A and B are shown apart, each in its own frame.
Chain A
Amino acid sequence: MIGGLFIYNHKGEVLISRVYRDDIGRNAVDAFRVNVIHARQQVRSPVTNIARTSFFHVKRSNIWLAAVTKQNVNAAMVFEFLYKMCDVMTAYFGKISEENIKNNFVLIYELLDEILDFGYPQNSETGALKTFITQQGIKGQWPLSVLPLYLNLRFLCSLQTKEEQSQITSQVTGQIGWRREGIKYRRNELFLDVLESVNLLMSPQGQVLSAHVSGRVVMKSYLSGMPECKFGMNDKIVIDKQGKGGGTDDAGKSGKQSIAIDDCTFHQCVRLSKFDSERSISFIPPDGEYELMRYRTTKDIILPFRVIPLVREVGRTKLEVKVVIKSNFKPSLLAQKIEVRIPTPLNTSGVQVICMKGKAKYKASENAIVWKIKRMAGMKESQISAEIELLPTNDKKKWARPPISMNFEVPFAPSGLKVRYLKVFESKLNYSDHDVIKWVRYIGRSGIYETRC
């Protein structure tokens, strides 16, 4: 299991050091600094073995988090834990930075004591942790609004009644570790965000080499009591099944409207065995914001933009680049924050750009022409052309021609996913599904959206 956990700043100074196992000594702290942080070469692996000690590391801005062990631990678990650790810290004090870590070191030690016992990860749900961690996060300039409001239960020793205490412990260890009892809201409300990132790799000839959508359904729930929820979407398997059963309202349209989901994963609140047997998604949600599910699709993806590149080498010192982008969705919808990044060779001396729409600039420090368009409606086309002057070099190696990449945001789900319903049942309190105010929003963003040129 995890033998120790260290947090370093970018200089390699240790900010937090917590050792869980006797086989990890103080010298492990230095070994990692010397061999990884201060290493001359770029790190070639997130797992490093130094003198029979294994180090797992992740980096957040310029902070290094390292878990150390001498055993054959579950490596996937260690990384999942490190990410979770980052999530918990972010939930408590915002961005992970040297300043915030120093400001909150007592809190971090307390957290580390609670979520890792003898190197075994324990409950790490922020919602549950807040009920018995005594320290409050000290935030820098980051807004408080990220967090749902929780009671800070600093009263553990003095104020709590016996019932309250055992309620906390049974929640932390119990089946519904992610939600506490007795939550009350005057207005029962929930927000569903379908966030998709569409990824594309296209050949210069316009052939799709690979494309997939990875999506997330993020839910913000402000519901009283212990509500039982059921989530439905236009999953092909479910709709086909219903279609066969006959008699559902949208059975007629199902052929077109349903999507094939390659794979999906769920927050731990979802009853997986039920999904496996009936493919229904039922759960008692955590309070506040969390990620209900992730999914991935590869079939029938709507690619919001098509990039058509044309690069011509004119002699050894000049390149001509022409790039056309076409938007491919309903004309009534608007894409936003469009950015096309056209890489230029390292020996570029000057660039002249002409574009019909938006603004384009050559950024020498990034070796790229960056073309920005604020808004663009569907079924439109726009073009940029550039002349790139090159310095003569005697470098034999040809320019690698990195792909043209693109960023954008569109108000629909490129996978075609639609939320069909989210039903809420709470039998003990008297509010019904109709009383809950529900909001749904679709956002499609570019993931890695590249066209080779």
Chain B
Amino acid sequence: MTDSKYFTTTKKGEIFELKAELNSDKKEKKKEAVKKVIASMTVGKDVSALFPDVVNCMQTDNLELKKLVYLYLMNYAKSQPDMAIMAVNTFVKDCEDPNPLIRALAVRTMGCIRVDKITEYLCEPLRKCLKDEDPYVRKTAAVCVAKLHDINAQLVEDQGFLDTLKDLISDSNPMVVANAVAALSEIAESHPNSNLLDLNPQTINKLLTALNECTEWGQIFILDCLANYTPRDDRESQSICERVTPRLSHANSAVVLSAVKVLMKFMEMLPKDLDYYGTLLKKLAPPLVTLLSAEPELQYVALRNINLIVQRRPEILKHEMKVFFVKYNDPIYVKLEKLDIMIRLASQANIAQVLAELKEYATEVDVDFVRKAVRAIGRCAIKVEQSAERCVSTLLDLIQTKVNYVVQEAIVVIKDIFRKYPNKYESVIATLCENLDSLDEPEARAAMIWIVGEYAERIDNADELLESFLEGFHDESTQVQLQLLTGIVKLFLKKPTETQELVQQVLSLATQDSDNPDLRDRGYIYWRLLSTDPVAAKEVVLAEKPLISEETDLIEPTLLEELICHIGTLASVYHKPPSAFVEGSRGVQHKRLPGSAGSGESVESPEPASAAVPEATPSVIPSQGDLLGDLLNLDLTPPTSTAAPPPASGLQLGAMDLLGGGLDSLMGDDSEALGGDLGGNPMGAGFGAPASAMPPSFSAPASGGLDDLFDLGGGVGMPTGTYCPPKAMWLPAMKGKGLEISGTFARRSGVIQMEMTLTNKAMSVMTDFAIQFNRNSFGLAPAGPLQVLTPLSPNQSIEVSLPLNTLGPIMKMEPLNNLQVAVKNNIDVFYFSCQYPMSVLFSEDGKMESKVFLVTWKDIPNDNETQCQIKDCHLNSDAASNKLQGSNVFTIAKRTVEGQDMLYQSLKLTNGIWVLAELKVQAGSPVFTVSLKCRAPEVSQAVFQSYEAILKN
């Protein structure tokens, strides 16, 4: 007799029949009836009407029947809360049963019934079960706490279940430990700030012990939990790694991946010169390769993770290229991922092999795969210069196949190759032009137009080619329209005599007949440029373009770090942070990698510290992106919540973490598109503005704005000030969408204050102000949030004083006292830079003892001495001394030689740098001579300026 018959009963009056059977005296008949009910439930029929009858069957000694009834209860209790109460007594009784399996079953099922009244009755039995003598009951009860927490978090806290759960981490049974860890981790996720999973060396030790003994699933829970721990030092980190590495040989791929996660994370803390570090790196490769012999679904998960690992630590798999070669029978999702990793691993050493493979793939059947293979060939050319020539000839071969999508894809990548190696492969243009008619995809058309425009002088019939596109101008996509506009303007600048008509035509099409603002604006800019100053136009439009970078689709470093912390999970499969696909507040907290152990050594830091100077146009695009990123470090919390400054130790990482949040919310969560377009996008090319990591519509105004900012910074010049220079205009209303900011800096009773006047010159109310600084030379950072409590109405001004501290991240700026600030309100985010007077950094304890002064003065080499004159200063030496003292420049000794007063002075900067000074005052002469000696001579210039400012005030 089989159970499938239960699926087929579809008679009328079925419910009544079932009812009768359920109430039958015969056990077998009852059981049969319950099975039928469950079958109906599965296929989606409503059998809730039978609730009382089914619940009546609950009180039985037959475990099989009991399990069936429980299954029904879990499904329908929520829809019949009143009747569900009927079941409570049985549950409570079962929780006392001598058989541990029944006790566990009862507490497990009760937790699944989401009815408030039942939940109340659950507390007592649960408390007992958590302390049950039988481990099977305890491990079930541990999970039940998580269930209860999901229904009623407050109740769980009030009843003290969390503490009991914590105690279970020390349980003698490994499976109880594992379930307790799983439950606690989940609860902790919804309480980010609670110290629930109080991980300390003792508990870690317990977890590591349980790790060796529990089931494969338990090992996963424990490893995932371990990954959240931050070891205190590199030794602890190493000892945990040593105990986790054996897991790499586990048959369960999830155990392996979770172990990899722990190792990848803790490895950050190990010094690179350590022998163990190298050993660990070597140990990671084989298990990752083994994952590729798992079932295809797991291979897919593994490959997505390997993609991340290869970006973070390319050295691990650099010799394993072959295992990523595509097999003919691989499912398409595995093929595409393998291809991605192949390109990442491509290097000069293996490029020949890779190219041979890619060429093979380009003849396959699946369109997506073929396209990706073609694209990959282009990327190889860009990545490995030595191979470029062979890649180009391979691409040409492929174009000869005339397969439509292959040709289009090839043209798109050839455009990128042109941008990487300008003036090298123009010989192929003729071949490309032959295929002009077959291009029907916007990206390919745009690429082709770009090529024609860029090399217009070498293509005889460039005007005809471009003109042919112009006919259907309004049917083209924006991408093509923009490109066509730029292309024709380029053509005109190169061959002005023949193409005047054409350029007129395209400009009027773009400006008069288009309703796309980007297109119209670009059209007007060109028009004006061409009409006012053709020479300037030439300089702008035909400017030398920056080369595109080699790695064009890297995941942005902050996101990558976060994803590394999520190895094995869905986030690592989607390559998106959990917040992008998990509802509610859960998972919003960003995870990050621990800092390296070497004393603040930023070898690992992916951001080049020198990318600070914006005026010097970076030669490779990503650094421009980084600069923007730095400025975008804006903490977008409303002003009420205290944005604590990042702790001094985790300097750079702290900053990057904020950046992650800022970028995400500013740019939407489509981070893949963000990476994908990078560099390959020719849009900004016409302007000579480097295409940055932003989508084109965003990129132009942002970089333009920045330039303005820095002009402004230069224009303001030196603070003319004193102790407190007068307020300077930092952000004119024009640039701040109506928000005007002027301000100054002061030091009041030992605290640096940034004093600002915010004026609303817009038509609408401004709210939600927040402020953030870019990294700067002395680590200035807001000590609290920007306090603008009331909304700022139109034409209203407000005075704000923002206390600063010097605990922020440090990066040397040029000039030294430059500060880049981002201010956010409900309208937008604005950036400006300003310069603070050095004198705000002179600390109160800057008086050096005279002996120490003498020794130090001699000690500092003469090379470090700088001298400067201050003119037009009508003070005598005492007055000067007093004035300087007011600004924490302390006079230690005074000497008079031949009518010349020599003042010996000392001052100390907030970062502990001492500056020693000798001030010569010639009686009756308005010229002072200052000599400065300092171990860090680069501060001298700024200190001079402060001297001058203070004295002249």
Which positions in A face B, CB cutoff 8 Å?
A: 1, 13-17, 19-23, 26, 29, 42, 44-47, 49, 52, 54, 56-58, 69-77, 79-83, 99, 102-106, 109-110, 113, 117-118, 120-125, 132, 134-135, 138, 154, 156-158, 160, 162, 165-166, 168-170, 172-175, 177, 201, 203, 209-210, 212, 214, 262-268, 271-273, 275-276, 291, 293-294, 296, 396-398, 400-403, 405, 448, 450, 452
Contacts and interface: CB of A to CB of B under 8 A. Distances in A.
Interface in B242-275: 243, 245-247, 249-254, 256-258
Contacts of B671: none
Given A72-B582, A75-B568, A156-B99, A173 B135 contact: yes
B146 interface: yes
B217 A77 contact: yes
Contacts of B327: 201, 448, 450
16 contacts: A1-B186, A22-B114, A26-B44, A72-B566, A80-B298, A103-B4, A105-B3, A117-B140, A125-B215, A169-B100, A212-B323, A214-B293, A265-B290, A268-B216, A294-B290, A296-B286
A82 B296 CA distance: 13
Contact of B568 (A77, A99, A134, A267): A77
B573 interface: yes
B570 A72 contact: yes
Given A117-B140, A264-B249, A177 B215 contact: yes
A-B pairs, top 5 by smallest CB distance, nearest first, are: A263-B286, A169-B136, A102-B4, A76-B254, A276-B246
Contact of B71 (A14, A82, A109): A109
A265 B256 contact: yes
A177 B573 CA distance: 32
Contacts of A174: 135, 173, 175
A173 B570 CA distance: 28
Nearest to B2: A103
Interface of B: 2-4, 6-7, 35, 38-39, 42-44, 61-64, 67-68, 70-71, 75, 98-102, 104, 108, 111-112, 114, 134-137, 139-140, 143-144, 146-147, 150, 173-176, 179, 182, 186, 212-213, 215-217, 220-221, 224, 243, 245-247, 249-254, 256-258, 286-287, 289-290, 293, 295-298, 300-302, 322-323, 325, 327-329, 332-333, 353, 356-357, 360, 363-365, 368, 401-403, 566, 568-574, 578, 581-583, 586-587
Contacts of B290: 262-265, 294, 296
B68 A169 contact: no
A169 B3 contact: no
Given A72-B578, A209-B353, 6 more contacts: A79-B254, A168-B101, A209-B325, A214-B293, A264-B290, A396-B402
A379 B111 CA distance: 67
A212 B293 CA distance: 10
Query: Could you say which of B137, B297, B332 has the most chain A C-beta atoms within 10 Å of its C-beta?
Result: B297
A70 B582 contact: yes
A29 B298 CA distance: 23
- Which one of A83, A110, A265 has the highest number of Cβ atoms from chain B below 10 Å of its Cβ? A265
Given A71-B587, A75-B573, A120-B221, A262 B286 contact: yes
Most chain B C-beta atoms within 10 Å of own C-beta, residue among A70, A263, A398: A263
A197 B3 CA distance: 39
- Chain A interface helix/strand/loop/mixed: mixed
B252 to A, nearest CB: 5
Contacts of A134: 63-64, 67
Given A80-B254, A102-B7, A157-B63, A74 B568 contact: yes
Contacts, number: 289
A452 B327 CA distance: 11
Contacts of A291: 251
Given A75-B573, A80-B298, A157-B62, A110 B135 contact: no
A118 B146 contact: yes
Q: Which of A52, A72, A157, A177 has the most chain B CB atoms inside 10 A of its CB? A: A72
Contacts of A132: 101
A26 to B, nearest CB: 7
Contact of B364 (A263, A276, A400): A400
A47 B250 contact: no
Given A83-B295, A102-B3, A124-B217, A52 B583 contact: yes
Contacts of A450: 327-328
Contact of B217 (A104, A122, A168, A276): A122
B251 A268 contact: yes
A267 B249 CA distance: 9
A165 B111 contact: no
Contacts of A157: 61-63, 99, 102
A14 B568 contact: no
B100 A77 contact: no
B251 A266 contact: yes
Nearest to B566: A72
Contact of A105 (B38, B114, B368): B38
Contacts of B353: 209
B830 to A, nearest CB: 33
Nearest to B323: A210
Contacts of B250: 265-266, 268, 272
B135 A118 contact: no
Given A22-B150, A75-B569, A76-B254, A263 B287 contact: yes
Contact of A58 (B3, B258, B295, B333): B295
B332 to A, nearest CB: 6
A74 B365 contact: no
| Residue among A46, A105, A175 with the highest chain B CB neighbour number at 10 A | A46
Contacts of B114: 22
Contacts of A73: 569-570
A80 B295 CA distance: 9
Contact of A74 (B4, B39, B224, B243): B224
Given A76-B257, A397-B403, A403-B328, A58 B43 contact: no
Contacts of A103: 2-4
Contacts of A72: 566, 569-571, 578, 581-582, 587
Contacts of A13: 43
Contacts of B257: 74, 76
A120 B182 contact: yes
Contacts of B112: 20, 118
Contacts of A201: 325, 327
Nearest to B216: A268
Given A22-B150, A210-B323, A156 B98 contact: no
Nearest to B357: A209
A103 B5 CA distance: 8
B300 A47 contact: yes
B146 A47 contact: no
A401 B363 contact: yes
Most buried by B among A13, A21, A122: A122
Contacts of B403: 396-397
Given A46-B333, A169-B100, A262-B286, A275 B64 contact: no
A104 B5 CA distance: 11
Nearest to A42: B332
B254 A77 contact: yes
A344 B450 CA distance: 42
Given A70-B583, A75-B573, A166 B100 contact: yes
A175 B174 contact: yes
A117 B7 contact: no
A14 B44 contact: yes
A170 B569 CA distance: 31
Contacts of B182: 1, 120
B401 A76 contact: no
A83 to B, nearest CB: 6
Nearest to B261: A74
A155 to B, nearest CB: 10
B293 A45 contact: no
Nearest to A103: B2
B4 A275 contact: no
Contacts of A118: 111-112, 143-144, 146-147
